[in-house]
């Protein structure tokens, strides 16, 4: 065999040249060299993104975005202003009713744990952080009851609904996220405490309507304390309560009328002192009803009238609202009239009356009216109605809402789950806005079909949630004092962002 006598140095150079040629023709087709893409020195996970479109083409999709190194000259730039500070956030969630608990308990343990982890875990899921439960029955309970249906407060006891359904579900949620806050609200007092009105004071043995007999104010205050203590004995801390769900609604299947004067006397002279005497610090939120005060003119500004009546009560944290009537601007009016008091949003529902399963309609509207609309008007918490109902909108009871959907609905197989708008709007907030976050100011780009809110979390991150209610995708740039990034938000979609300061 004949061997070429090539100097070693020349051989090395020749091999290197051949290697370069080989790399340039690695496309495999022999005609056009494959383009060489230089490595991107910018990390692609600077910003964590969660996106949902109203077509479900993006369904709580987790994405990332990169900080930009280019000059920030976009006309659609929104700049965070952390020096402008608003309310501190308590959390986001839904009601764990008797019906919700029944449906969850009907699932297999593995499926239920997976769903609850996805919903409540701040590390593996969407981090829901606030739930509402009823004190006694609600219109989504398995029966009509209170925790003291036999006359005499000494007969107080938790019932099957609490012991076998609600408490076990709460324990599973708290095992996943121990920091979840719990709000309790009664739909009615025990019937033996009711009278037809405050003039005749005749006994009123009905689940629906009636008023609390002033002779039983002290006993009813004890009822609340016993309820809070019973849950504490079960290992569950009650963070807050409202004295009455929808106090101006006489027509619910379980209900009690309680005008502002009654609530002022009951709370300030009986309920708050009883809670303090028991060594508890449970927060009290007044009202818990609609923006328009059910069109009862003498009940306008219900919580403010209580604030201004009698002594100042430290356990009264603020007021709670629903959106079944009126306009969310009432929240801003309440903040201006009582800036030292808190606001929370505690109930809204979807159903057959508002095309509740049509995400194309409900996602942008509920994001605008319920989620961002309440947060941008000073609410510290946003809680929607039932977390889970079945495909027959239940279990439900005659006289209660038989046309409501849950945040999610579960099929008869107790396995197949359909997410509705309320699940999406709460998840889009909770996934990036942590309890303890402060809503902060912004400057820059605004548009009629764009709505957003910005927050500073306690862990050194910023959060930003944006609704694009336009029929076209929009690229927005978000900036803080150090970083900025651009993101193309799809049409009719909500995008949530979190990144380190």
3-state secondary structure 26-95: CCCCCCCCCCCCCCCCCCCCCEEEEEEECCCCCCCEEEEECCCCCCCCCCCEEEEEEEEEEEECCEEEEE
| Whole-Å CA distances, 459 to 80, 139, 455, 462 | 17, 39, 12, 9
| Whole-Å CA distances, 16 to 5, 11, 26 | 18, 9, 16
Q: Is residue 101's pLDDT more than 60? A: yes
The token duo for 125 is: 């899921």
Distance between CA atoms of 274 and 488, rounded to whole angstroms? 54
The share of the chain scoring above pLDDT 70, in percent, equals 91
In this prediction, residues 175-196 reach a mean pLDDT of 98
Q: Is residue 249's pLDDT more than 50? A: yes
Q: What's the confidence (pLDDT) of residue 339? A: 98
> pLDDT tens for residues 236-246?
999 999 999 99
Q: What's the confidence (pLDDT) of residue 302? A: 98
Q: What's the confidence (pLDDT) of residue 30? A: 36
> pLDDT tens for residues 312-322?
889 999 999 99
Q: Is residue 221's pLDDT more than 90? A: yes
* Domains by residue range for the chain, with CATH: 47-86+440-500 (2.60.40.1180), 90-432 (3.20.20.80)
Picking from 240, 246, 247, the residue whose alpha carbon sits closest to that of residue 263 is: 247
Distance between CA atoms of 345 and 199, rounded to whole angstroms? 33
Q: What are phi and psi of 413, to 5 degrees?
A: -80, -5
Q: Mutual orientation of helices 109-120 and 167-176 as an angle, nearest 10°?
A: 60
* Sign of the alpha-carbon torsion through 90, 91, 96, 97: positive
In this prediction, residues 3-22 reach a mean pLDDT of 37
Looking at every residue in the chain, the average pLDDT score rounds to 92
Q: Is residue 9's pLDDT more than 80? A: no
What per-residue string of b and e applies to 137-176 under the rule 16 or more CB within 10 Å gives b?
bbbbbbebbbbbeeeebeebebbebbeebbbebbebbbeb
In this prediction, residues 128-155 reach a mean pLDDT of 97
In this prediction, residues 46-66 reach a mean pLDDT of 97
Distance between CA atoms of 320 and 347, rounded to whole angstroms? 9
Q: Is residue 36's pLDDT more than 60? A: no
Q: Is residue 8's pLDDT more than 60? A: no
Give strand pairing partners of 30: none
> pLDDT tens for residues 371-392?
999 999 999 999 999 999 999 9
Distance between CA atoms of 147 and 383, rounded to whole angstroms? 24
- What totals of helices (H) and strands (E) does the chain contain, helices first? 13, 24
Q: What's the confidence (pLDDT) of residue 71? A: 84
Q: What's the confidence (pLDDT) of residue 250? A: 96
Q: What's the confidence (pLDDT) of residue 33? A: 32
Q: What's the confidence (pLDDT) of residue 42? A: 40
| Whole-Å CA distances, 215 to 156, 197, 266, 495 | 18, 13, 11, 53
In this prediction, residues 341-346 reach a mean pLDDT of 98
**pTM score, whole prediction:** 0.90
Picking from 151, 154, 141, the residue whose alpha carbon sits closest to that of residue 187 is: 141
Cis amide prior to 395 (ω within 30 degrees): yes
Q: What are phi and psi of 103, to 5 degrees?
A: -65, -40
Picking from 321, 295, 224, 302, the residue whose alpha carbon sits closest to that of residue 263 is: 302
Q: Is residue 209's pLDDT more than 90? A: yes
In this prediction, residues 189-210 reach a mean pLDDT of 98
Q: Is residue 235's pLDDT more than 70? A: yes
Q: Is residue 349's pLDDT more than 90? A: yes
Q: What's the confidence (pLDDT) of residue 20? A: 33
* Phi-psi map region of 378: left, alpha, beta (phi>0 left; psi -120 to 50 alpha): left
Distance between CA atoms of 401 and 286, rounded to whole angstroms? 24
Q: What's the confidence (pLDDT) of residue 469? A: 98
In this prediction, residues 181-207 reach a mean pLDDT of 98
Q: What's the confidence (pLDDT) of residue 318? A: 98
Q: What are phi and psi of 477, to 5 degrees?
A: -105, 135
Q: Is residue 485's pLDDT more than 90? A: yes
Q: Is residue 43's pLDDT more than 90? A: no
Give yes or no for a contact between 103 and 112, defined as CB atoms under 8 angstroms apart.
no
In this prediction, residues 36-40 reach a mean pLDDT of 34
Q: What's the confidence (pLDDT) of residue 44? A: 58
Q: What's the confidence (pLDDT) of residue 1? A: 38
Q: Is residue 21's pLDDT more than 90? A: no
Picking from 379, 390, 380, 325, the residue whose alpha carbon sits closest to that of residue 97 is: 390
Strand-strand pairing, 316-322 and 283-290: parallel
The token duo for 320 is: 């709670």
Picking from 17, 346, 405, 404, the residue whose alpha carbon sits closest to that of residue 183 is: 346
């Amino acid at each position: 065999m004949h061997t070429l006598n090539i100097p070693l140095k020349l051989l090395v150079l020749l091999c290197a040249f051949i290697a370069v040629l080989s790399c340039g023709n690695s496309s495999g087709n022999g005609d056009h060299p494959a383009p060489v893409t230089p490595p991107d020195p910018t990390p692609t996970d600077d910003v964590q993104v969660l996106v949902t479109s109203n077509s479900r083409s993006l369904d709580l999709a987790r994405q990332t975005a990169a900080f930009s190194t280019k000059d920030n000259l976009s006309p659609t730039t929104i700049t965070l202003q952390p020096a402008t500070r608003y309310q501190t956030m308590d959390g986001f969630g839904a009601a764990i009713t008797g019906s919700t608990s029944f449906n969850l308990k009907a699932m297999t343990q593995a499926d239920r744990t997976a769903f609850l982890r996805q919903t409540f875990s701040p590390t593996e899921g969407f981090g829901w952080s606030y739930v509402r439960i009823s004190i006694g029955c609600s219109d989504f309970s398995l029966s009509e009851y209170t925790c003291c249906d036999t006359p005499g407060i000494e007969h107080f006891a938790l019932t099957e609904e609490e012991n076998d359904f609600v408490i076990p579900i709460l324990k599973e949620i708290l095992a996943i996220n121990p920091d979840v806050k719990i709000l309790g609200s009664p739909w009615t007092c025990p019937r033996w405490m009711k009278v037809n009105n405050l003039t005749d004071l005749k006994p009123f043995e009905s689940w629906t309507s009636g008023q609390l007999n002033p002779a039983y104010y002290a006993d009813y205050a004890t009822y609340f304390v016993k309820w809070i203590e019973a849950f504490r004995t079960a290992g569950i801390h009650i963070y807050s309560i409202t004295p009455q769900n929808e106090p101006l609604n006489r027509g619910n299947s379980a209900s009690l009328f309680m005008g502002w004067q009654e609530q002022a006397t009951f709370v300030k002279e009986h309920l708050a002192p009883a809670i303090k005497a028991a060594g508890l610090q449970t927060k009290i939120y007044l009202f818990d009803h609609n923006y328009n005060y059910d069109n009862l003119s003498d009940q306008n500004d219900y919580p403010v009238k209580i604030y201004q009546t009698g002594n100042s009560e430290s356990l009264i944290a603020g007021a709670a609202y629903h959106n079944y009537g009126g306009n969310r601007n009432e929240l801003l009016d309440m903040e201006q009239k009582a800036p030292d008091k808190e606001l929370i949003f505690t109930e809204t529902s979807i159903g057959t009356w508002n095309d509740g399963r049509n995400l194309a309609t409900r996602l942008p509207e509920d994001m605008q009216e319920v989620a961002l609309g309440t947060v941008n008007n000073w609410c510290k918490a946003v809680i929607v109605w039932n977390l889970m109902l079945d495909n027959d909108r239940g279990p439900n009871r005659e006289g209660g809402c038989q046309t409501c959907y849950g945040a999610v609905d579960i099929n008869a197989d107790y396995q197949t789950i359909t997410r509705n708008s309320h699940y999406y709007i709460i998840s889009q907030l909770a996934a990036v806005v942590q309890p303890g976050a402060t809503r902060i100011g912004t400057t820059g780009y605004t548009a009629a079909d764009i709505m957003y809110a910005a927050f500073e979390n306690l862990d050194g991150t910023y959060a930003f949630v944006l609704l694009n209610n336009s029929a076209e995708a929009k690229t927005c740039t978000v900036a803080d004092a150090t970083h900025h990034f651009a993101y193309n938000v799809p049409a009719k979609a909500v995008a949530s962002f979190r990144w380190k300061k």
